[in-house]
Every structure is written in C-alpha cells, then in structure tokens.
A and B are shown apart, each in its own frame.
Chain A
Amino acid sequence: MNLIFEKSVPGRMCTILPSCDVPQTDLADNLKRKSALDLPQMSETDVSRHYTELCRRVYGVNSGFYPLGSCTMKYNPRIDEQMAALEGFSAIHPLAPEHTTAGCRKVLETARQYLCEITGMDDMTFQPAAGAHGEFTGVLLIKQYHDSRNDRKRTKIIVPDSAHGTNPATAAMCGYEVINIPSAPDGCVDLEALKQALGDDTAGLMLTNPNTLGIFDENILEITRLVHEAGGLCYYDGANLNAVMGIARPGDMGFDCIHLNLHKTFATPHGGGGPGAGAVGCKEKLRSFLPGSAVKGHEGIQVRSFSGNFLVVVKALTYMLTLGRQGIPEAARNAVLNANYLMHRIKGTFEPAFDRICMHEFVLDLSRFKEETGVSALDVAKSLIDMGIHPPTMYFPLIVHEALMLEPTETESKETLDRVAEIFRSLYDLARKDPEYMKSSPHNAQIGRPDEVRAARTPVLKWTREEDS
C-alpha cells in the first residue's frame, strides 16, 4: 500500500477556505519560513480513499475478539461518541467565563461524584490525560504530602515485580528510588518481603488489586495497614478496576490515592493509543495537593493544560449514566464470569499460570508447552491472527514465563467465548502436528512478521522524497 505522500499530485487541493476578506499583512523577511512546506497535495476523494484503505488494515473492537489482558477492550458505546460530539460540549472554549460553562462543570462534578462513590475516594481530578499520566499525578500527591510535613527522608517507593512497567518508571519520574519486591508463588504480595522492604524511608507502595495476574490479593487490608504503619501511603493502579467496580472499593482496601483508566473500565475508546483519561482520586488528606490550571488561577501542581481530556470524561459519564447503580457491578461480575468461563474451557490444553478462580483476566503459562513443542507464546499469538482474533497480551507480567494474558471483558457473548476456546484447542493440537507453520505465522494477515531488529538498527522514522534520500 502506498503512503499518502506517494499519492500526492502537485497542484491538487481541496477548497476549504474562501479568499481573504480583509487586507493582507506580510511577515517581515527575517520571520518568514524559507523551506518549502512539504505536505500531501490531495483532492478530497484521494484523502477519503487513502484513509479507507488504511482502515481496512486496522483491527478494532468492532472487528472481533480482543482479549488484551489489562486493557479492558470492552465495547465502546456509540451514544458516548455522539454526546461528546454535541456542539454544546465540543465548541466550548476552556477559558470561557464560568457563567457560560455550567454544563461543563456539571459534567466534571457529576463524574467526580460518581467515581468517588465507585472508588471510595473523597476527591478527584480529571487533568491527567492517560493512565501513566495519572500514575505520575498520584505519586506526586504522595510526594507533596511528605514534603508538606517536612518528612524528607522518605526516598523509596515499593513496587511488586508483577507491576506494569509504568509503575517503576513513574516512581523514578518523581525522584524516588524503586524497591522491587518479589511476589509470592501465588502471584500475590509476599508479606515477608514487604515487611523487609518497609522502613521510615518508605514514601509509599504502588499496587494493583486484582493484580496483573488477575488474582485478588486477599491480604490487601494487611498490606495497606503495614505501609501506613511505616508512615507510607498507598497508591492504587486502577487498570484492573473492571473486575471489582461496584463490588469492592480501593478506598475500602486502604488506598490513599488511585488512578483510573477511563478508556478501559469506563468504555471510552482506545483510539489506537489515545486519547484516554487517567482520572486521579484521593482521600481527604491529599485533596489540597490535586493539580489544576495556572491560567485559571490554580496555585499548585499541574500535569497538563486546562482541565484535561474533557470530551473523554463526557463519554465516561454517559456510560455511567447508562449502566447506573446496578449496571456497574453487573458489568464487573460478568467480566469475571466470562474470564473464568473462558479459562475453564481452555483448561486441559494450555495451562493457566494459577489454577484458581480468577478475576477479570487470567494468565496462561506456555513454558512447558514450549519445551514440548518448540512453539512459543509469541508463535501462538501470531497464529491467532490467522484465526481472525487479536492476540492476548504477551510476555506480561514478567513473573510468568511464556505468558499470554487474556481479558475477554463482559461485552463478549458466550458463543464467542466457546468459539475462541475451540480455536485455542485447535492451536494446541496444531503445535504438535505442524509447529513450523505456527512459528512462521501469520500467513493470512496484512503482512508477515516484521523485521523489528532491522527497524531498530537502521531507523527510518519518516518518509523522504527519492531525490533527498
């Protein structure tokens, strides 16, 4: 398929603007751009067709099963999109006078109220634009808290080795030393290791519950108690909230601050990698440290301009209004049911890393399978592509080898789960019959396996004209 630049024809254009109806002005010569602006020159037909062609090479939630563990690829309701596109929201300037933006403030206030109730927090900000951004904000609340009490010896953040890579990266961005603690054999926090790591230099703990293996840590109250006893605070990574929303609340588990992924749990679309929204909630003692906008008069910290990804919050609010008080826990329950059902149907072929009730996601451990057949988790993932299914999360969490993490979500039907289980079973058999076929998969996709080594060794990160290269 050609790049848009390869379809460009000099002199071709769309007719978007009228001619200027006021006198022209000219930029002084020393301020003028000298180099040509090399952008595609297309008719609207060309643009339309190019993006249609690109679209055919994208697999969305609308295309089929998308079991990416920890990503919560649930159905993105169209009514959410429609509401966010209303002129009464999309045409509003972030600095319009307050008395003209009552609707925007109502959206933020209502979303705040509902999410505080769902999470057991006292206050919330919507300024962070993504999960990692929310993590950064949450850890900054902890940092400000200790600084405000002149408690400067707290230089360490504890992170379990099962954590998502953003957790330690975030701690480092906040100037903390990261203390990795090993998980217990069942994937939960090793209480002894935690006790050893705790001290008066502990600023806090970052944790996800259910954890990245899809297991609810039943020691959670003891964990948060231990951290508080040592003088630290507890941060909740809300990526896995879909398992427990409306059923258990991080605020009741002892967490002091949390982040949510509105683009996971609250059904706003992933957009190919954003925009999301990483709402951050906190208990009373951290409220005064929440971020705001300087140009709007805020005097504390700030993590992005204005109030955050407002239109994404509109989508999440629309979703919460739709599901309501019964629908929220119902979604969680069925997410957990679907995961357990799928795991049960696959069991007997691929091995779950932990043979116990899971939450909204489960991990398959393919290390023995790989020893026996030579076919790796990666090969299985690539073979799923040929079967019309998006691969699950691969090689995460790091504490399971040859891991595949599956999260079906509640918006998948029983028929889909049955069919997917069949597909997994058939691949299990294929690995014994024709491992080479799987090792060179996919065979029927847009492309074969890309040469990632070459991409990194000789980076080509933009298109250049023939004459220039």
Chain B
Amino acid sequence: MGSYIPSTEAQRKQMLREIGLEDFRGLYKDVPEAMYLDRELDIPSGMSELEVARKVSAVAAENKVFPTVLRGAGAYDHYIPSIVRYIPAKEEFLTAYTPYQAELSQGILQSVFEYQTMICSLTGMDVSNASVYDGATAAAEAAAMCRDRKRRVTLISASTHPDVINTVRTYCYGTNDELRTVPVKDGRTDMDELVKMLEAGDVSGFYVQQPNFFGLFEDAEKLGKIVHAAGAMFIMGCNPIALSIMKTPAECGADIATGEGQPLGMPLGYGGPYLGFMATTAKYMRKLPGRIVGQTVDADGNRCFVLSLQAREQHIRREKASSNICSNEALCALTAAVYMSVMGPQGMAEAARQCMAKAHYLADRLCSLNGVSMRYGGEFFHEFMLDMPKIPQVLKALEENRILGGLPYDGGILWCATEKVPKEDLDRTVSIVREVLK
C-alpha cells in the first residue's frame, strides 16, 4: 500500500501513549458506534508508485491522441512553449496556498499582479481580478455584476457557446433572475431583435461572445451602442488570442470583459483546468468578484503586494457577499502570464494572424470541393461552419488518419485551425475529405 506518512509504527505507538490512548480507536470516541465504519472500504488495495504509474498510464493509453486537432468550440489546441510547462511546475508555485500571508507569498502576489496587468493590456480595461474558474463562470459572474435593485434581466446572444449560456442560465436560476436569449440571424446576433428586447427597460446587461461560437466576428461596437442607449451594461466574452489583433472590449465600449483563458498556455486536458478572466472599467471595480491583488508598501516603505478590496468577499461579508467565490485558478493564471511573457506582443499577434490565415486557407480549400459550402458569410477568426454531405464518413476518414476533424454541430461541421497546424496537415485534410466526397 502506498503511503506518504513519515511516522513509523513505533513512533505512532509512542505518540498515542503520550496523549494517553491505547490505540487509534480512542481518537474517534466521539463518533457514534452506529456510524463508525466497521468494514474496509470497497475499493482496491493500495499500490506502490511503480504499479500506480503502470496502471494509470494504461488508462491514458485507452485515449486516442490526435497529433492534428481541427476542432475548437471552446477548447483550443495552441502550441505551448516549453518553458510555459516548467514554471508552474516549480514546487513552490505548485503547492502553496492562497497568499493570505503576504510576508510569505510575495512571489505569488506579484505574479498575480503581473497577470492582472497583462489582462488589462489585452482587454484595454482598467482593472482585472485574479481569475475565476473558466470563461463560462466568468460570464455568469459578469451578468451578476450588472444587476441592481431596478434592473435584473440578463440578455445573452444565442451565438454564444452553449455551455456558457447554460452556465449563465444556472446562475440566474440560483438568484431567481431571468435570462433571455437574443436570437441569431445568419450566424450573428439579430440586432433588430435585440433592440426589441431592450425596449421594456428591465435589462441589466447583455452578453455577446467575440468571435462568437460559430467563429464569426460580431459588430461589437454597434451592439454596445444599442445596449447603452437602452441603459443596460455591455459584456464582451473574448478569445484572448484574437484580442491581440481585434478591437478590444474597451475600444468597443464594453463595461465588462470576460473570456476563456485556456488558449494562453493551458493544454486541452479533456476540459480542464481552464481559466476565466474578468476585467472591467474603474467605475465597476468594487463590483468585481473574486480575488484581486493590490500594490502597497510595507513598514520600511518597500513596494509589496497584498490581497486587496477584501470587503467584497465571502470571508468578510458572508451572506452579503456578491459571490461565494473563494479561490481562483492561480496556477492557470500563472501559466497564462508566463505564456504572454514568452510570446510577447509580437508573438501573440503572430499567433493570432496565423490562426486566422490557416483557418481561411482551410476554409477556401474545403469550399472548393463539390458539395461543400460556408454556412455563414462575413469575417471569421479561426473557426467556421461548413455544410457538406457524408459528415460521419468525412470525420471517420480523418480520424483514421489521426486528424480530429471539426465538430459535427447543427447538421454541419464547425472547423477550427490554429497556428499549430502546418500547411501539409491542412492539405492532407483537404485530400482526405476530397476522397470521401468523390
């Protein structure tokens, strides 16, 4: 059986004796007899490290690893620079607790402060928090920020990722608030419908994803104007790689910027852990949920960092807190900061440009095949919806060639291409699809 307990049998006996007990059972005298488990757990016996390594590796081998991934839909296969894997693996970063004791955790606090600064730069906003669980929960928390006593309704575009919509819906269910989805027209938010839905004057906030779930760029600036004209707040959920080259939420007049940070150095990991970023304008700083790191000085006047504005949080305000969120995704935020530092402004923009270029190249070449067409017109980033015949056969043929094709969705396929996919893989994909569709 594997164990991480340093004390030997002899030492345990000695400790028990010192506290006046015969055996371990005495430690649990407060546990009623009826509840004391009188049998062993029905799980396998423990194992040595070598056996565990073999067993778990065998389970991992049951998964199919695709060297080429052309599927996105909220989880993106970007190239992760080597050093980005090493730094968060440093034992201190990995095993430390939340930095409540500032004198012992300046390293973490400073790295979070740096992360917050980078998120502000990426989004153009004034203040960022230390992160939340993922892009979907960030959207839900942002929606909550918009509500006040008079306005409670949240609007969300139907062009948003279904998991984000459902998460926001769940959080609204929690607080007994209403969520309404704004219909989509030709793959984008229907602006006429949005205007109509804002007329009642009860909307607190509107959320749009940029680029949206179908990969398309929304006219965010115009959406923002419509929303503000109706007295509601504007939330933009953005792809962080795209932000390197696309109009920022700040430039679009957004009040709150959120997004899924997974593309910033986190592996696909079958869905997690990921990273939710949240940033806002100075005006709404105190409504931001979650941890925020602030700069101050110590008794000797040295610059230092602390968890700040804690009066917003659950450990102070308990049931009056705006959110129950207690932790963040610290190690993922660190990963994102390292990624952004390694890539730098040129690298980030280059990654974005290449994602876009490769997706457009793939789209053009696939659309040149018989029976294949773009479902929606207009500008897209690195994802696009195609209609084509024989979808299951296409995906199967790709799979046999170790390519994970686009996501079958709504009768079509939602494709994605990132900077990681070389031209020959894109060409190979097209050949395979051409073969199937012959």
Contact = CB atoms under 8 A, between A and B. Distances in A.
Interface string A130-172: 1111011000100100000000000000000000111011111
A410 B5 contact: yes
Contacts of A196: none
B377 interface: no
A54 B299 contact: no
Kindly state the interface size class of chain A when it binds its partner. 35 or more
Given A13-B346, A33-B245, A54-B111, A48 B83 contact: yes
B268 A93 contact: yes
Interface string B337-348: 110111111111
B324 A135 contact: yes
B74 A322 contact: no
Interface string A304-330: 111111111010011011111111111
B308 A461 contact: yes
10 contacts: A27-B379, A39-B348, A106-B59, A269-B95, A275-B332, A308-B272, A322-B52, A331-B4, A390-B101, A445-B103
Given A97-B399, A104-B63, A47 B83 contact: yes
A463 B85 CA distance: 25
A22 B426 contact: yes
Given A22-B423, A117-B41, A311 B269 contact: yes
Interface string A27-46: 11011111111111110100
A90 B269 CA distance: 4
B315 interface: yes
B37 to A, nearest CB: 6
Interface in B295-333: 295-300, 302, 304-306, 308-311, 313-321, 323-332
Interface stretch (A61-69, A279-287, A369-377): A61-69
Contacts of A42: 341-342, 344
Contacts of B217: 31
B324 A274 contact: no
Interface in B353-375: 353-354, 356-358, 360-361
B185 interface: no
B103 A293 contact: no
Interface stretch (A197-205, A225-233, A332-340, A423-431): A332-340
Instruction: Name the 4 nearest CB pairs between A and B, nearest first.
Output: A324-B46, A88-B60, A306-B271, A271-B331
A305 B88 CA distance: 23
A172 B318 CA distance: 9
Interface in B209-226: 217, 221
Contacts of A273: 97-99, 108, 130, 291, 327-330
A466 interface: no
B428 to A, nearest CB: 13
B423 A132 contact: no
B41 to A, nearest CB: 5
Given A91-B267, A218-B32, A463-B117, 9 more contacts: A23-B357, A33-B246, A57-B105, A140-B170, A247-B28, A321-B46, A414-B6, A446-B106, A461-B308
A173 B175 contact: yes
A173 B106 CA distance: 32
B311 A462 contact: no
Interface in B118-175: 118, 120-122, 124, 126-128, 130-131, 133-137, 161-167, 169-171, 173-175
Contact of A325 (B43, B107, B269): B43
Given A40-B341, A301-B173, A462 B128 contact: yes
B216 to A, nearest CB: 11
A322 B344 contact: no
B239 interface: no
A348 interface: no
B195 interface: no
A324 to B, nearest CB: 3
Contact of B87 (A51, A217, A221, A272): A51
A215 B42 CA distance: 27
A322 B2 contact: yes
Contacts of A75: 4
Nearest to A217: B30
B103 A83 contact: no
B52 A79 contact: yes
A39 B121 contact: yes
A62 B92 contact: yes
Contact of B268 (A23, A91, A107): A91
Interface in A95-142: 95-97, 100-104, 106-107, 113-114, 117-118, 129-133, 135-136, 140
B200 interface: no
Contacts of A455: 294-296, 306, 308
B118 to A, nearest CB: 6
Given A83-B56, A336-B28, A175 B73 contact: no
Contact of A95 (B71, B111, B334): B71
Contacts of A305: 74, 134-136, 161, 163-164, 167, 260, 271-272, 274
Given A274-B332, A411-B4, A117 B42 contact: yes
A321 B55 contact: yes
Interface in B72-109: 73-75, 77, 79, 81, 83, 85, 87-99, 101-108
